[in-house]
Each structure stands twice: as C-alpha cells, then as structure tokens.
C-alpha cells in the first residue's frame, strides 16, 4: 500500500491555527458521536448529515455545513484528517485564517450541492470533510504546482516524493471516473461514497486557487 504522509511546507506565513483546529474539531465531534447510545447515533447523523433529497427541496440547508464535521467510521475520519493535515496548512499560511475559514466552509457547501445536483433523490445522509478537503486540494495544485508530496510504500518502508500535480491529478481522475460510473445509481449502489462532492469541491478549489495565486503571489513563496 502506498499513501501520502507529508509535503513541502511554506516557510513563514500565517500560522495554520484553523487547519489544526478543524482537525481537532472533527476528531472531537466523532468521539462525541461515538459516545452516544447506538440508537441515538443514527438519529444524530440523520439530523446533522446532508440528505440530498431534503436539500433539493430547500429543507435543512444548514446541514451543508454541519455534515462537514461528521464522519462515518474511524477509517473515514483518519483518511480525511491525513489529507487535511498535509494540504490545508500551506493554504492557510498564504491566505490567512479568516479567508481560509470562508474558503473551507464554502468549499464544503459547494461540494455538498454538487452531490445534490447529481443525486437529488438520495435519502442517505452525506457526511464527512472530504468535499471541503477536496477544495483545499484543488487550490493546492494551482497554488503550489512545484511542491512535492512525500509518499510511503508501507510494505518496504520506503519514502519517496512525487510532484503534487501528478498526485492530485491522478486523484481527481479517479474521482471523476468513479463519479461518471455511478451516475444514475442510488447512493447505496454507488458504495455510499459521494464522488460528486469530491469532484465539485476540487473544481471549486481550482477556481479559488487561481484567484489566490494571482492575489498572493504564491509562486514567490519559499518551500522546504
């Protein structure tokens, strides 16, 4: 198995307070969620998760935000938090915490709306930070195209680096192919993964990354 474990980091800039704050908040919410009685956990997810059918009817729109901080399993949480930890701090270091807060939340909402557009009849709650993190990844590939992603080949315990644009380009291609494959399927038949939230979030991040790069001159920022 091969997975990312780090990246080149920005020297200086704004401290990534929110990046790590979101990480802790997600873990805290998941621990609280799992501390609830079994019967209550499902109700908690249905209350605060984003249900595409309801959102398409204009109901419970606040869940486009609250769902970002819920997760379905430890693996779901840990995978998302790994990607948040790797990619978010550089974005926040450049744009600042206030702008990063708005960007992250809007990225999550746009991702949720993308899932609603492509699966409007689903009654299954969508949860997870992956849409917002996909937005972060989309911005990252535009703002830091020369950055490298540190990869771990776990079977041989080998560390190697690949350009960020290759890693993120392959990731986005995988999401797009999967999203096209499940078009018209129910959320259950699609494996319960909100592929179009990932795609929508990433495209939103690309657009914002172009804006951030032009405004904050990220090509001049030193990486290490």
**How large is the average pLDDT for residues 106-133?**
96
* pLDDT above 50 (res 219): no
Which sign does the torsion angle of CA 124, 130, 132, 134 carry? Answer: negative
80 close to 130: Cβ distance less than 8 angstroms: yes
**How large is the average pLDDT for residues 73-80?**
96
**How large is the average pLDDT for residues 111-137?**
96
Query: Structural domains in the chain?
Result: 2-220 (1.20.1540.10)
**How large is the average pLDDT for residues 133-159?**
93
Q: Which of 223, 219, 192 is nearest to 71 (CA)?
A: 192
**How large is the average pLDDT for residues 71-81?**
96
- pLDDT of 220: 45
- pLDDT of 38: 84
**How large is the average pLDDT for residues 157-162?**
91
Question: How far is residue 206's CA from residue 138's CA, in Å, rounded to a whole number?
Answer: 4
Higher pLDDT, 220 or 199: 199
Cα angle 62-71-181, degrees, rounded to a multiple of 5: 90
Helix intervals (H) in the chain: 17-35, 38-48, 52-56, 63-66, 74-95, 97-118, 130-143, 164-181, 195-216
Whole-number average pLDDT of the chain: 91
* pLDDT above 90 (res 3): no
Question: How far is residue 18's CA from residue 219's CA, in Å, rounded to a whole number?
Answer: 23
- pLDDT of 14: 87
* pLDDT above 60 (res 198): yes
The pLDDT-based confidence of 118 (bands split at 50, 70, 90) is very high
Task: Enumerate the β-bridge partners of residue 23.
Answer: none
Question: How far is residue 99's CA from residue 90's CA, in Å, rounded to a whole number?
Answer: 13
- Residue 221 is classified by DSSP as S
In the structure encoding, which two tokens stand for residue 135, read together? Answer: 């937005």
């Amino acid at each position: 198995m091969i997975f990312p474990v780090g990246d080149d980091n920005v020297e200086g800039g704004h401290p990534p307070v929110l990046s790590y704050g979101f990480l802790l908040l997600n873990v805290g919410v998941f621990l609280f969620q799992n501390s609830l009685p079994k019967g209550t956990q499902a109700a908690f997810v249905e209350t605060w998760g984003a249900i595409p059918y309801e959102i398409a009817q204009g109901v419970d729109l606040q869940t486009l935000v609250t769902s970002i901080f819920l997760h379905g399993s430890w693996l779901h949480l840990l995978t998302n938090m790994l990607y948040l930890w790797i990619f978010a701090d550089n974005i926040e270091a450049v744009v600042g915490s206030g702008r990063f807060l708005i960007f992250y939340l809007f990225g999550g909402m746009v991702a949720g709306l993308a899932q609603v557009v492509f699966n409007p009849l689903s009654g299954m709650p969508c949860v997870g930070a992956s849409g917002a993190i996909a937005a972060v990844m989309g911005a990252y590939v535009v703002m830091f195209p020369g950055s490298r992603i540190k990869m771990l080949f776990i079977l041989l315990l080998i560390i190697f680096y690949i350009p960020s644009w290759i890693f993120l380009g392959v990731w986005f291609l995988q999401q797009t192919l999967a999203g096209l494959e499940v078009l018209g399927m129910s959320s259950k038949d699609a494996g319960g993964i909100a592929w179009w939230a990932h795609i929508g979030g990433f495209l939103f991040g690309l657009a914002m990354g172009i804006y951030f790069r032009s405004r904050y001159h990220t090509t001049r920022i030193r990486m290490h």
